[in-house]
DNA sequence: CTGAAAGCGCTTACAG
DNA sequence: CTGAAAGCGCTTACAG
């Protein structure tokens, strides 16, 4: 008997995914060594023209697709990017993820989305799971992790952060111009003659929220209007938060003629709160949102808001990741925020 | 000089992710062989109590986390599940993905979401990318792939499909009870005295859409009402589709007192169409949606709809994947559809 | 320009 | 119950 002649077959079941072609088979077909195939695959060295042709032909003929898992193990690259999102089901993150996906796909990278749910511990866990899967880079959308922690993280893996101001050799961040956007929104209301303008804030742990509040204040100050703290209500970027805030505002009996909400979802919740008390938009109260996502466009009445392309933000962030991976300095140009007047605002009648 | 003494260090840069602990180090620390560590990790064999204790201690001490990439290569498992979604940014898919994520996470699996955008070619490409990454199973949400193709796919990899009726040894599918749900919605309108009830359909390539239409017809027939084909308008499950359909309906000058839309997004688009013509909901026309997602709850007025837990659907589908992976027959119990009456419908006044 | 060989970090028949 | 060894499918210094 020949000694263990079936050794080769031990892993037969690992290849259960049918007749998967390996690099080795391509090499055989092309009459070269696996190393050479690998090299042309990775553009890692110059290869003679005829061999390249033979290999290309073999790849095409066999329909070879390199196994990213093996590449990951051997080369330390997995062609996957870990993306830490907060609430995968919100329209905001949905748009951003779409931008990321669209940008990464043509480059051959695949995003792996994990939700942090605005909880520090969960974000940390998500990142650890992503790292253990050897993602090539990380893209963190907002969240509550301390800046220092992200800074430290970027020592281990290329990192792009949305909604912070951070930088480092392998660290890049980008932000909307929330301040300008919010000033636009508030000024729009001021221009329409509104003076008692309430603001429903976003999650205070979120830079965007802080900047939008600052923009609101600034616009009022620029117009020489006092900032009345009783008109500033807490919110959390959700419809429920907006509904609650509007209800509280109404109960406080503070006079007001307009509401500027920190995002569209908040504005829509607030609109419902007004509706419940038979207050009509825009006849009785004007409402402005922020983001210009689908819910704003299709609200009844359609919501005046500030357009920030969340999709573009996602795409640019993903582009920055790709730059970092190539060892280049990311170059991003975000579209400037723009006011989109629709039917939820109107001139104040005296 | 000793011959190539630095061989060992060649891959130093692969371990760039800092001091990653390997299984080998755990074995050393515990004084056992790597095989044994692997075995207790996988529960693959009974191991003596003392060794197990030593290994557990070593794992804890070193903070060892097995490398899924290596596990994938060696064992043929990657602990990742490929999920083909259609529009990652829609509220519907957002909810479903959340359910999937929540179900998979505690089991140690990670979902990899890829969008098919309702295009056959893209779905095919997505699946191929997922397979090349050696996902352990596939979860396909709706889409346009022919049943036969999915059937064939399930020969290669465990497959769960949402929104079809398919089965096989490694194939499982689950569906909402759309027919019942749609009958509930239409009957609600009939009970309120409506007779001229328009229906805005969903994407006809989608089973859900067909079943909802069938439910609408059935309810009318049961009530002895004629089904008027001029009151059945095409749609595509989007707000824009709903808006267009409502506009066309109005322009057709067909009399109607209620609209049943194939999903919430369509209903919201239709509501905007009515609003543009100064038709009030529910005073002039009643509107019913389907799904009960956030946009329905926070619409103005809040939308009467049929509740189908999309989240639960996602979670159950993911649960089915896990069952398949364990070699068990999936056991799913979907909540029954339920009518949620809100403010967009009211009794027809004569 | 190119091949042979070692290695990535695991898993798993084999053989006690 | 457990170890030594081969192998998963690649990549990459080394040495021509």
Each residue's pLDDT tens digit, B33-48 = 999 999 998 888 777 8
Surface of B (115-154) touching A: CB under 8 A: 115, 128-129, 131-134
Residues B319 and B288 in one domain: no
Residue A330 has a CB neighbour count (10 Å cut-off) of 17
Average pLDDT over chain B reads 90
Contact A194, A257 (CB under 8 A): yes
- Kindly report the pTM of this predicted structure: 0.86
Query: Which residue among B31, B47, B73 closes a domain?
Result: B73
Phi-psi region of B34 (alpha: psi -120 to 50; beta: other; left: phi over 0): alpha
Is residue B128 very low, low, confident or very high in pLDDT (cuts 50, 70, 90)? Answer: confident
Are A111 and A47 in the same domain? Answer: no
**A209 lies in the same domain as A222:** yes
- The protein footprint on chain C, as nucleotides within 7 A of a CB, is 1-15
Encode pLDDT of A11-48 as tens digits.
333 333 446 789 999 999 999 999 999 999 888 877 78
Same domain (yes/no): B157, B276: no
Cβ neighbors of A191 (< 8 A, separation 6 or more) are none
What is the edge-to-edge ordering of all strands in the sheet holding A286-288?
A: A232-233, A197-200, A258-261, A286-288
Question: Are residues B207 and B196 part of one domain?
Answer: yes
- Any domain includes A345: no
Domain contains B225 = yes
Pair type for strands B159-162 and B137-141: parallel
B253 touches strand D (CB under 7 A): no
CA distance B257 to B272: 16
Chain A residues in contact with B87 by the CB 8 A cut-off are 98
A350 is a domain residue = no
- Chain B residues whose CB is inside 8 A of the A244 CB are none
**Ordered per-residue pLDDT tens for chain A, 350 residues:** 333 333 333 333 333 344 678 999 999 999 999 999 999 988 887 778 888 899 999 999 998 888 888 988 888 888 899 999 998 888 899 999 999 999 998 888 999 999 998 899 999 988 988 888 889 999 999 888 999 999 999 988 999 999 999 999 899 999 999 999 999 999 999 999 999 999 999 998 888 999 999 999 999 999 999 999 999 999 999 999 999 999 999 999 999 999 999 999 999 999 999 999 999 999 999 999 999 999 999 999 999 999 999 999 999 999 999 999 988 899 999 999 999 999 999 999 86
What is the CATH classification number for the domain harbouring A50?
Answer: 1.10.260.40
B146 and B210 within one domain: no
Specify whether B39 is located in the same domain as B128: no
Give the CA angle between residues B285, B276, A237 to the nearest 5°.
Answer: 95
- Say what the pLDDT of residue B11 is: 35
Within a domain: residue A348? no
Whether the per-residue pLDDT at B333 is higher than 80: the answer is: yes
Do residues A155 and A136 lie in contact, with contact meaning Cβ atoms separated by under 8 Å?
no
Q: Would you state the pLDDT for residue B42?
A: 85
Q: For residue B325, what are the contacts with CB-CB under 8 A and spacing of at least 6? A: B136, B137, B158
H-type alpha helices, chain A: 23-30, 34-42, 49-62, 68-75, 91-104, 120-132, 147-153, 178-191, 207-222, 239-252, 264-276, 294-297, 310-325
Say if residue B194 is in the same domain as residue B299.
yes
Of B88, B110, B295, the CB nearest to A295: B295
The total of other beta-carbon atoms located within 10 Å of residue A229's CB is: 7
What pLDDT score does B17 carry?
41
CA dist B9 and B5 (Å) reads 9
Adjacent-strand bridge partners of B198: B259
Task: Report d(CA A162, CA A142) in Å as an integer.
Answer: 6
Phi then psi for B69, rounded to 5 degrees?
A: -65, -45
Positions 8-47 of A with beta carbon below 7 A from strand D are 8, 10-11, 14-15, 20-24, 34-35, 37-39, 41-42, 44
B296/B186 same-domain check: yes
In a domain, A342, yes or no: no
Average pLDDT on B171-179 reads 95
A110 and A193 fall within a common domain:
no
Domain that holds residue B194: 178-307
CATH code assigned at A106: 3.40.50.2300
Rg, chain B, Cα only: 27
**What's the CA A10/C1' D8 distance, rounded, in angstroms?**
10
Query: At which of A73, A98, A121 does a domain end?
Result: A73
Q: Report how far Cα B74 is from the mean position of its chain's Cα atoms.
A: 30
Backbone angles phi, psi at A259, to 5 degrees: -130, 130
d(CA B38, CA B27): 9
* d(C-alpha B228, C-alpha A24), whole Å: 64
CA–CA gap between residue A27 and residue A25 (Å, rounded): 5
Which of residues 154 through 183 in chain B touch A, CB cutoff 8 A? 156-157
> What is the pLDDT, as a whole number, of residue B350?
67
Q: Give the whole-number percent of chain B exceeding pLDDT 90.
A: 71
pLDDT, residue A350, reads: 67
Tell whether A235 is covered by a domain. Answer: yes
Task: Name the pairing type of β-strands A258-261 and A286-288.
Answer: parallel
Pick B298's closest partner by Cβ from A95, A112, A239.
A239
Residue of B nearest to A81 (CA): B112
Are residues B199 and B291 located together in one domain of the fold?
yes
Check whether B209 has a pLDDT greater than 60.
yes
Contact between chains at B297 and A239 (C-beta distance less than 8 A): yes
When CB atoms are compared, the residue of A110, A113, A134 closest to B69 is A134
Residue A218: helix, strand or coil by DSSP?
helix
* Same domain for A152 and A301: no
Q: Is A61 left (phi over 0), alpha (psi -120 to 50) or beta?
A: alpha
Residues 6+ apart with CB under 8 A from A347: A192, A193
Residue B343 lies in a domain: no
Q: Which residues, numbered 255 to 274 in chain A, qualify as contacts with chain B under a Cβ-Cβ cut-off of 8 Å?
A: 265, 268-269, 271-272
Q: Give ∠ CA A93-A95-A98 in degrees, rounded to 5.
A: 105
Domain assignment of residue A260, yes or no:
yes
Helix (H, G, I), strand (E, B) or coil at B199: strand
A110/B112 CB distance under 8 A: yes
Angle, CA B117 vertex, CA B113 and CA B123 arms, to 5°:
65
From chain B, pick out residues whose CB is under 8 angstroms from the CB of A131. 17
Sign of torsion, CA B233 B235 B237 B243? negative
Q: How confident is the model over B305-326, as a mean pLDDT?
A: 95
Domains in chain B: how many in total?
3
- Let me know: does A184 contact A244? Beta carbons within 8 Å: no
Mean pLDDT check: name the lowest of A225-229, B116-120, B240-244, B290-294.
Answer: B116-120
């Amino acid at each position: 008997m020949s000694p263990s002649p079936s050794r080769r077959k031990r892993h037969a079941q690992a290849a259960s995914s049918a007749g998967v072609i390996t690099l080795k088979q391509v090499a055989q077909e092309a009459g070269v060594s696996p190393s050479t195939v690998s090299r042309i695959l990775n553009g890692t060295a110059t290869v003679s023209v005829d061999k390249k042709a033979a290999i290309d032909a073999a790849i095409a003929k066999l329909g070879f697709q390199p196994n990213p898992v093996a590449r990951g193990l051997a080369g330390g690259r997995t062609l996957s990017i870990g993306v830490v999102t907060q609430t995968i089901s919100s329209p905001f993150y949905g748009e951003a993820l779409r931008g990321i996906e669209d940008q990464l796909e043509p480059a051959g990278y695949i995003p792996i989305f994990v939700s942090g749910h605005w909880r520090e511990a969960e974000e940390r866990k998500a990142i650890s799971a992503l790292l253990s899967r050897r993602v090539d880079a990380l893209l963190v959308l907002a969240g509550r992790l301390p800046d220092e922690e992200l800074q430290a993280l970027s020592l281990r893996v290329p990192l792009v952060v949305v909604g912070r101001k951070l930088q480092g050799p392998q660290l890049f961040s980008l932000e909307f111009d929330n301040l300008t956007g919010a000033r636009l929104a508030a000024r729009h209301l001021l221009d329409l003659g509104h003076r008692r303008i309430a603001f429903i804030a976003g999650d205070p742990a979120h830079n965007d929220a802080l900047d939008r509040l600052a923009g609101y204040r600034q616009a009022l100050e620029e117009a020489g209007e006092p900032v009345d703290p009783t008109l500033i209500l807490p919110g959390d970027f959700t419809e429920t938060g907006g509904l609650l805030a509007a209800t509280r505002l109404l109960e406080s009996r503070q006079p007001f003629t307009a509401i500027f909400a920190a995002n569209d979802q908040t504005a829509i919740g607030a609109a419902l709160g007004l509706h419940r008390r038979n207050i009509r938009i825009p006849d009785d109260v004007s409402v402005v949102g922020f983001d210009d996502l689908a819910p704003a466009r299709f609200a009844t009445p359609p919501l005046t808001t500030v357009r920030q392309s969340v999709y573009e933000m996602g795409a640019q962030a993903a582009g920055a990741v790709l730059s970092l991976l190539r060892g280049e300095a990311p170059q991003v140009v975000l579209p400037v925020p723009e006011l989109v007047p629709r039917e939820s605002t109107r001139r104040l009648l005296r």
